[in-house]
């Protein structure tokens, strides 16, 4: 495989989590070759040294294959937990009373410590509390600011330090803990491309993270709290991308509420031209089995038909027995869905109305030109990546070749539907731009003699955010000889 000749044939991107099962240079390369476009470092697990080693391996692989590779650092966010019991586990009986309080003493079947004053002060009678990923369900009956008395709605065994979820309340908790702030500093020092923010409840959470990142990486907001859905538009406006984090959504909501919400989040993100990742349990059974269930395959396919930019492997690639097979399976499902004759129609089920800007008008025009006349690729020159995002939002039927002088932009584009980024020197005039577009399309096998290209750029060259030029050119086949 020649270094610069490698381009994927599919539009949807595959994001895989690195962990003990995949954290070696050999495994990272095998996963990349199996179809992984972007790698996720889960900051909830693993030491900084292990994450740093993985970033180093990815950057070495990037040099070897001559392609930008995307790295995403996923911050843990606040983890709310109960305290400990004198004798664990204790059995909570359905219908019994159970108190959560600020006392440090060890708990029993009647009470336990909840070391989060802000939660105890926020709860009111009628609110639901979920313990241990929703296995135990409590309803608040009385509060006095220091303790919360509840009735056990769904009982069962409970042990030390189990997680607490409060689905109906916006908690006065920042989505960034001290650990997150340290992890964020580390991730930015490692020059990662994306930061994923957990526990987003309101737009202010995103604004706070944005301030701390200071433009050094792109920001992806994880939608995992029901509170975030109520302010989805505002959160999307402030984010560079979003993730449908179905694991936590599925704890705080009923399971049957998650699929319609997934569709809603994907559609809202598509309308605003923000990349959207669908994540959690996509091929869950492949943690221990070399093949997925039919239902899992169907679930992955649904996310692709809905037009998600990326699909994600979590435990499957981080700690599973079959990381390469899981990546290969994602790739195969995507290729199959995208070759389905009805795919184009389904992916355009979400209507994306262009904003009243020249750049959006040109993106919509490019999509229509590609639909009307036979073209082999859309080539866009971009410094910031915003032209590429606008193009990808249209979900064109042909590949999107993104040419940028900025390595950071090229790497961030790795989560964008259909985009194939190449780092190349900026152009200074129209002739040079057309010549480069033709040469790059030929080199990356996105066109041959006689095929047409759509070229988009901004004039004057080198001015970010000024896309105002669209040109259709035909390849002669001699472009590579020249350069």
Clarify whether 161 is annotated catalytic: no
Q: What is the pLDDT of residue 481?
A: 63
- Res. 5: pLDDT tops 50: no
Clarify whether 40 is annotated catalytic: yes
Q: What is the pLDDT of residue 4?
A: 38
Give domain status of residue 344, yes or no: no
Structural domain that includes position 67: 3-77+174-339
Q: Give the H/E segment covering residue 26.
A: helix 25-34
* Number of domains forming the structure of the chain: 3
| Listed residues 131, 165, 199: the one ending a domain | 165
Q: What is the pLDDT of residue 2?
A: 35
The band of 236, judged by pLDDT with boundaries at 50, 70 and 90, is very high
Distance separating alpha carbons of residues 398 and 371, to the nearest angstrom: 9
Q: What is the pLDDT of residue 460?
A: 78
- Res. 24: pLDDT tops 80: yes
Is the separation of the CB atoms in 53 and 22 below 8 Å?
no
Q: Give the H/E segment covering residue 386.
A: helix 386-393
Catalytic residue among 128, 280, 375, 404: 280
Give domain status of residue 84, yes or no: no
For residue range 252-288, what is the model confidence (pLDDT) as tens digits?
Answer: 999 999 999 999 999 999 999 999 999 999 999 999 9
Same domain, 51 and 194: yes
Clarify whether 445 is annotated catalytic: no
Catalytic residue among 81, 181, 271, 407: 81
For residue range 153-208, what is the model confidence (pLDDT) as tens digits?
Answer: 999 999 999 999 999 899 999 999 999 999 999 999 999 999 999 999 999 999 99
Give domain status of residue 267, yes or no: yes
Looking at residue 398, the DSSP 8-state letter turns out to be S
- Percentage of the chain exceeding pLDDT 70: 98
Is the separation of the CB atoms in 38 and 327 below 8 Å?
no
Catalytic residue among 67, 162, 222, 438: 222
Give domain status of residue 351, yes or no: no
Distance separating alpha carbons of residues 463 and 384, to the nearest angstrom: 10
pTM: 0.94
For residue range 435-478, what is the model confidence (pLDDT) as tens digits?
Answer: 999 999 999 999 999 999 999 988 877 777 678 899 999 998 78
Q: What is the pLDDT of residue 380?
A: 95
User: Taking all residues of the chain, what is their mean pLDDT, rounded to a whole number?
Assistant: 94
Clarify whether 222 is annotated catalytic: yes
Catalytic residue among 10, 11, 13, 40: 40
Q: What is the pLDDT of residue 1?
A: 32
Give domain status of residue 38, yes or no: yes
Q: What is the pLDDT of residue 55?
A: 98
Give domain status of residue 82, yes or no: no
Query: β-strands 111-113, 375-381: how paired?
Result: unpaired
Residue with tokens 């309308």: 271
Is the separation of the CB atoms in 249 and 192 below 8 Å?
no
Give domain status of residue 218, yes or no: yes
Closest of 16, 13, 11, 21 to residue 46, by C-alpha = 21
Q: How far is the CA of 341 from the CAs of 305, 307, 311, in angstroms?
A: 12, 15, 21
Q: What is the pLDDT of residue 349?
A: 87
| CATH number of the structural domain spanning residue 96 | 2.40.33.10
Q: What is the pLDDT of residue 202?
A: 97
């Amino acid at each position: 495989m020649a270094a610069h000749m490698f381009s994927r044939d599919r539009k949807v991107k595959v994001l895989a989590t690195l962990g003990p099962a995949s954290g070696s240079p050999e495994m990272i390369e095998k996963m990349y070759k199996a179809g992984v476009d972007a790698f996720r470092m889960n900051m909830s697990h693993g030491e900084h040294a292990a994450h740093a080693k993985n970033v180093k391996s990815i950057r070495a692989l990037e040099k070897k294959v001559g392609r930008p590779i995307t790295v995403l650092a996923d911050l843990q966010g606040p983890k709310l937990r109960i305290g400990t019991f004198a004798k664990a586990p204790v059995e909570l009986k359905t219908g019994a009373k159970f108190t959560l309080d600020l006392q440090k003493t060890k708990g029993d079947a009647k009470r336990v410590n909840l070391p989060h004053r802000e939660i105890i002060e926020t709860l009111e009678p009628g609110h639901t509390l979920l313990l241990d990923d929703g296995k135990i369900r409590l309803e608040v009956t009385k509060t006095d600011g220091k303790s919360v008395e509840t009735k056990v709605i769904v009982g069962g065994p409970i042990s030390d330090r189990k997680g607490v979820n409060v689905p109906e309340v916006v908690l006065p908790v920042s989505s960034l803990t001290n650990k997150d702030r340290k992890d964020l500093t580390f991730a930015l020092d490692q020059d990662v491309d994306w930061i994923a923010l957990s526990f987003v409840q309101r737009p202010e959470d995103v604004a706070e993270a944005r301030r701390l990142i200071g433009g050094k990486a792109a920001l992806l907001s994880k939608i995992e709290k029901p509170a975030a859905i109520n302010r989805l538009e505002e959160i999307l406006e402030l984010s560079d991308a979003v993730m449908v984090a179905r694991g936590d959504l599925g704890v705080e909501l009923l399971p049957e509420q998650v699929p319609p919400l997934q569709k809603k989040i994907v559609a809202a993100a598509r309308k605003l031209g923000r990349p959207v990742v669908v994540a959690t349990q996509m091929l869950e059974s492949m943690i221990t089995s070399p093949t997925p269930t039919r239902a899992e395959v169907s679930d992955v396919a649904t996310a692709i038909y809905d037009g998600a930019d990326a699909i994600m492997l979590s435990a499957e690639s981080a700690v599973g027995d079959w990381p390469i097979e899981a990546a290969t399976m994602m790739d195969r499902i995507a290729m199959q869905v995208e070759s389905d004759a009805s795919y184009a129609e389904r992916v355009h089920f979400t209507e994306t109305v262009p904003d009243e800007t020249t750049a959006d008008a040109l993106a919509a025009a490019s999509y229509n030109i590609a639909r009307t006349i036979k073209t082999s690729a859309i080539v866009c020159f971009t410094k910031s990546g915003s032209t590429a995002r606008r193009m990808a939002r249209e979900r064109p039927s042909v590949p999107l070749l993104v040419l940028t002088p900025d390595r950071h932009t090229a790497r961030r584009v790795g989560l964008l539907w259909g985009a194939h980024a190449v780092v190349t020197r900026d152009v200074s005039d129209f002739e040079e731009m057309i010549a480069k577009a033709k040469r790059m399309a030929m080199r990356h096998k996105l066109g041959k003699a006689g095929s047409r290209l759509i070229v988009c750029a901004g004039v004057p060259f080198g001015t970010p955010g000024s896309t105002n030029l669209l040109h259709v050119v035909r390849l002669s086949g001699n472009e590579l000889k020249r350069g």
